[in-house]
Amino acid sequence: MNQENTKMANQLSTEDLERFKRQLTLSGYTKEHQFRLKNSTALIAGVGGVGGTTALYLAIAGIGRLKLVHSGVLTSSNLNRQILMTEDWIGKTRVDCAKAAIQRIASGVQVDIYNERMTPENSAGFIRDADVAVSARPNFPERCALNNACVKHGIPVIEGAMFDMDAYMFSIKPGLTPCFHCLFKDADSRWQELGFPVLGALSGTLGCMMAVEAIKVITGYGKPLFSKMLLFNLANMEFNTIAINRDPDCPVCGTLRVSTGENK
């Protein structure tokens, strides 16, 4: 560890060192990684079954700040998967319940909440001070708005979605890897935002895996899913990883080029 890294690691408090001592013994995971996490902000677009789980696991891993964006109120039918929600909150805004749940478990995390949808107009503002964005909204227009803003401003994105017992995920490093638009050029107008079948344990599994990806992208630990897509089906317990390519004619990221980053 060089002098600067030693200085950073020393800024972890005694409480931090005790609270996170079990993950600080992970192979290759150092105090420097933990310090980076502590000083990072993740934008979570969607605190449902996927994004809510991601937010929870980022919080208990020691991220410094979460920005939660999700519009709407809690309904009974959300409770089979949205792990941050509680029965007594039905009829109230979900981001408030998500913040309360996270801060009961990890009171040191700063949680900023926005009862809004991601739009082309507001997305840049949400991601401006984020180190990573997590894409977990149940519709294509919001995923596209987040993708386009993140590509424009160079913010990495953890993209993940599920349907029934299937899920996929990949990580986007703008200018280096395919963006959402490179892979899925047109939103599918047949998609019903509130109609997809979902088992909470599956959306939670995906959310946990996206939290691991976000931690890797933030800290430099491990190898993120750059230019690869992980697909899994939990009915059959099948896992596949495929290579994915940038579209040189992509209107969102096609002209963007960046030098190879440390996480490649």
Partner 1 sequence: MSTAIITIKLFGPLRAKFESDPTLPIRENETIQTVIERLSIEAHPAYLYSLNGRHAKASSQLHDGDVLLIIPPISGG
* Interface with partner 1, residue 239, by CB under 8 A: no
β 110-114/238-243 pair status: unpaired
Q: Who's near 146: CB < 8 A, 6+ residues apart?
A: 45, 118, 123, 127, 133, 135, 137, 157
43 vs 63, 123, 155, 169, 194, CA distance in Å? Answer: 11, 10, 10, 17, 23
Handedness of CA 207, 153, 32, 264 (dihedral sign): positive
β 41-45/65-69 pair status: parallel
Do residues 172 and 153 lie in contact, with contact meaning Cβ atoms separated by under 8 Å?
no
Q: What's the closest the beta carbon of residue 194 comes to partner 1, in angstroms?
A: 10
Q: What's the closest the beta carbon of residue 215 comes to partner 1, in angstroms?
A: 19
* Interface with partner 1, residue 201, by CB under 8 A: no
Q: Which is nearer to partner 1, 90 or 244 (CB)?
A: 244
Angle between the N-to-C axes of helices 31-38 and 200-219, in degrees from 0 to 180, rounded to the nearest 10: 110
Residue from 12, 24, 42, 50 that binds partner 1 (CB under 8 A)? 50
Both tokens of 19, joined, read: 């609270």
Residues between 58 and 77 with contacts to partner 1, criterion CB under 8 A: none
* Interface with partner 1, residue 208, by CB under 8 A: no
Q: Which is nearer to partner 1, 4 or 186 (CB)?
A: 186
**Coil vs helix vs strand at 74:** coil
Residue from 105, 187, 201, 258 that binds partner 1 (CB under 8 A)? 187
* Interface with partner 1, residue 186, by CB under 8 A: yes
Q: What's the closest the beta carbon of residue 210 comes to partner 1, in angstroms?
A: 10
Q: Tokens 């079948």 appear where?
A: 197
Nearest to 52, CA basis, from 76, 83, 80, 75: 83
Which DSSP letter does residue 260 get? Answer: P
Residue from 106, 132, 136, 217 that binds partner 1 (CB under 8 A)? 136
Q: Which is nearer to partner 1, 231 or 256 (CB)?
A: 231
73 vs 93, 115, 146, 154, 192, CA distance in Å? Answer: 4, 9, 21, 32, 18
Residue from 90, 183, 234, 256 that binds partner 1 (CB under 8 A)? 183
Query: Residues 4-43: x/- map of binding to partner 1 (CB under 8 A)?
Result: ----------------------------------------
* Interface with partner 1, residue 138, by CB under 8 A: yes
Q: Which is nearer to partner 1, 144 or 155 (CB)?
A: 144
Residue from 57, 89, 168, 226 that binds partner 1 (CB under 8 A)? 168
Piece of the chain touching partner 1 by CB under 8 A; list 107-115, 124-132, 238-246, 255-263:
238-246
Task: Go through the chain and tell me how many residues it has.
Answer: 264
Where does this chain bind partner 1 (CB under 8 A)?
46, 48-51, 135-140, 143, 160-164, 166-168, 183-188, 191, 193, 196, 198, 203, 229, 231, 233, 240-245
